[in-house]
Amino acid sequence: MTKVDVTTMIRAKMREKTITWAAIAEAAGLSEVFVTSACLGMNSLLPDAAGKVVDFLDLPAEAAVVLSEYPTKDFPRTVPTDPCIYRWYEITGVFGEAFKELVQEKFGDGIMSAIDFDMEVNRVAHEKGDRVQVVMSGKFLPYKSW
């Protein structure tokens, strides 16, 4: 049983019982973004959280072992094609340098960690049309001299 198998089982249960990612995340006791990414095979759940997901969705016990294994994060190299994901790639291209300038101005030479990192996706009501809000937070990691 692989992470791909478990993702397929989770999606099947979601369709069959009309379960949302929000509900799975609540069952796991963790955030939506993290749990969704783990269920898609891009992060590992701790055994306790994996067990809760498996119980909630009524999956075989082995699925909890697989969910807690450490993944190889393999994503398409170069440019994504789905418009929803591409727009984020475009934002990286258009605002990447400005982001770097401001991080350096506010913190010094270094980066925002993508490992000690969290993210949430919210729906924000707006009179001209609701908006997708993304809040990301990563620890600042300074370059060091040695």
Contact set for a copy of itself, span 26-55 (CB under 8 A) = 30-34, 36-37, 40, 42-46, 49
Tell me how far CA of residue 55 lies from CA of 23, 35, 39, 49, 116, in angstroms.
13, 15, 14, 10, 28
In the annotation, is 113 catalytic?
Answer: yes
**94 makes contact with a copy of itself (CB under 8 A):** yes
Check if the beta carbon of residue 19 is closer than 8 Å to that of residue 11: no
Exactly one of 11, 62, 87, 131 is catalytic; which is it?
A: 87
Instruction: Give the nearest distance from C-beta 142 to a copy of itself in angstroms.
Output: 7
Residue of 58, 61, 105, 127 that binds a copy of itself (CB under 8 A): 105
**4 makes contact with a copy of itself (CB under 8 A):** no
Within its chain, how far is the Cα of 40 from the centroid? Answer: 9
Exactly one of 90, 101, 120, 131 is catalytic; which is it?
A: 90
**What are φ and ψ of residue 136, in 5° steps?**
-115, 145
**DSSP string spanning 41-62?**
TSS---HHHHHHHHHHHT--TH
**125 makes contact with a copy of itself (CB under 8 A):** no
Which amino acid is present at 25?
A
Residue tagged 């799975």 (tokens): 24
Instruction: Give the nearest distance from C-beta 58 to a copy of itself in angstroms.
Output: 20
Exactly one of 11, 62, 113, 120 is catalytic; which is it?
A: 113
In the annotation, is 90 catalytic?
Answer: yes
Residue number with CB closer to a copy of itself (58 or 125): 125
Positive or negative, the CA dihedral 86, 128, 119, 25 is negative
**83 makes contact with a copy of itself (CB under 8 A):** yes
Q: Point out the residues that are catalytic.
A: 87, 90, 113
